[in-house]
Chains A and B, each alone.
Chain A
Amino acid sequence: MKEDKKLTAAELPAGGMLEGGTAEEFKTGPWRSQRPVWNKDKCIHCLTCWIYCPDASIKIAPDDKKTTVVTGIDYDHCKGCGICARECPVKIQAITMEEEKK
């Protein structure tokens, strides 16, 4: 990994001010001990997982009919909390948690 040159007190913006949206560059995926696996065929695209995900790691996009559908999981940021698997409707179970392979 490339070592970034860290800014000095004289160079840093005052008060810990940062540009917006920098969390995207901070990859929290490696924190995972379990990974959610999404089954595209079972999914009914109710977006419950998307609502509950505390890390905006459920990827969504409009389909051909401009309806918003789930397209996958953002493994760069998903911390593997399992909330999506838990909240996925009982009769559907489109998301299951699996041990993360190291």
Chain B
Amino acid sequence: MVKTVFSKGKIVAKTGNEVMAEAMRQIAPDVVAAYPITPATEIVQIFSQFVADGKVPTEFVAVESEHSAMSATIAASVAGARAMTGTSSQGLAYMWEMLYIAAGLRLPIVMAEVNRALSAPINIHGDQSDTMGARDAGWIQIYSENSQEAYDNMIQAVRIAEASKLPTMVTTDGFIISHCMEVAEVYPDADVKEFVGEYKPERALLDYKRPFTLGAIDLQDFYFEHRFQLAQAMRDSKKIILDVASDFKKKFGREYSFYEKYQMDDAEVAIVTIGSAAGTTKVVIDELRKKGIKAGLIKIRVYRPFPAEEIAKDLSKVKAFAVLDRADSCSGTFAPVYLDVVAALYANCASAPKSENYVYGLGGREISMEHIEEVYMKLDAIAKGIKKASTQLEYINVRIK
């Protein structure tokens, strides 16, 4: 249950898409270029209505595709504008080459992204295959568990992107968050405006008195240095993300970090996951705790940059953990989040707890409390030495045989 934590905050009933559009109105970027796609359509639809009604001074560009949406957003950003867009699934896939260009040119674009399965077969429902595929694109990725987080993350993303000069995507789980009406606290326009501040680009192409070149060819002698800069910027952005979160807490009262820990202080078994499933997991933990099972959760909010050292430190204390991935790499081994988590543990700890990796919820397949409880019970048995941890990728709620 969301409670007001900001003295001037207002509790409203809004879907994930509505709060993201609301955040965009309050941020009032100079340019938004977007193309509609389920389940993110409403974000730009509502936002374009704000523009039409004169409620926001943004230049809205209705483009003919997502590739053009990202291209126009990049162009606006290079021109010196604060630029945003929104998309989902196939739309994100269609933006692919431009995603890398936005990152490579170090443009602080903010994108509202609604996680949806990728074709084929065609499916419009929620899983994280789209953004997981974009995890190496050089974009900061911030995932949201609910509407409130989506709203707060959008506001923080503007400052994170501009301070780190990295494009940033804020995501919600398709339909589960994007279309689910929840209570959320929104802040007055003036306070959001004050928090995001004014965008002052280092160089702007529209500043014709100081012309510059961007996107020049970069061969064997310089490309590597520029890619190193990008990777380093991602490492350096960790401090920026925490600083912005700290300012956000001072201003609005809500606390954010790279990930949220739930009942982790004395946890013996833990689940690591991203997005809306974390909410269900918390309910399961409360039930299991009553039965004496010391269950905990790490809900990753910032997946890129990946908070490796921090997660390794927290997870090394448990006896067994499972990573629940809402995307399958089809790699022959494990799913994306698990690979990052175990690499973090291997690199940072002398010994690591037993672990398992599950893929769940593809194409919007439900994950129930029972499913999550089953995972915890298995982890509990592993922790007690009764069962052995699986050495291969496991699946939740799929008909295999």
Contacts and interface: CB of A to CB of B under 8 A. Distances in A.
Interface in A1-44: 6-9, 12, 14-22
Contacts of A21: 211, 213
B229 A12 contact: yes
B105 A19 contact: no
A8, A14, A21 — most chain B CB neighbours (10 Å):
A14
Given A9-B228, A22-B213, A15 B165 contact: yes
7 contacts: A14-B229, A16-B105, A16-B216, A16-B226, A18-B212, A20-B212, A21-B213
Nearest to A18: B213
B225 A9 contact: yes
A64 B215 CA distance: 41
Interface string A43-74: 00000000000000000000000000000000
Given A6-B222, A9-B228, A16 B211 contact: no
Contacts of A16: 104-105, 214-216, 218, 222, 226
Contacts of A15: 104-107, 165, 214, 226, 229
Nearest to A21: B211
B232 A9 contact: yes
Contacts of A9: 225-226, 228-229, 232
A18 B214 CA distance: 6
Interface of B: 104-107, 165, 203, 211-216, 218, 221-222, 225-226, 228-229, 232-233
Contacts of A19: 211-213
Nearest to B208: A20
> What 8 pairs across the A-B complex have the smallest Cβ distances?
A15-B106, A20-B211, A18-B213, A9-B225, A9-B228, A15-B105, A14-B106, A9-B229
Is the contact region of chain A dominated by helix, strand, or loop, or is it mixed?
A: loop
Given A8-B225, A9-B228, A16-B214, 6 more contacts: A7-B225, A12-B225, A16-B105, A17-B203, A20-B212, A21-B213
Interface residues of A, number: 14
A19 B222 CA distance: 15
A17 B212 contact: yes
Interface string A63-99: 0000000000000000000000000000000000000
Contacts of B233: 14
A22 to B, nearest CB: 6
A21 B203 CA distance: 16
A15 to B, nearest CB: 3
A20 B215 CA distance: 12
Contacts of A8: 225
Contacts of B228: 9
Given A14-B106, A15-B106, A18-B216, A6 B221 contact: yes
Contacts of B212: 17-20
A8, A17, A19, A21 — most chain B CB neighbours (10 Å):
A17
A15 B167 CA distance: 12
A18 B165 CA distance: 16
A9 B221 CA distance: 11
A54 B211 CA distance: 21
A42 B277 CA distance: 79
Contacts of A17: 203, 212-214
A71 B133 CA distance: 55
A17 to B, nearest CB: 6
A19 B191 CA distance: 38
A9 B222 CA distance: 9
A4 to B, nearest CB: 10
Contacts of B106: 14-15
A8 B222 CA distance: 9
A14 B165 contact: yes
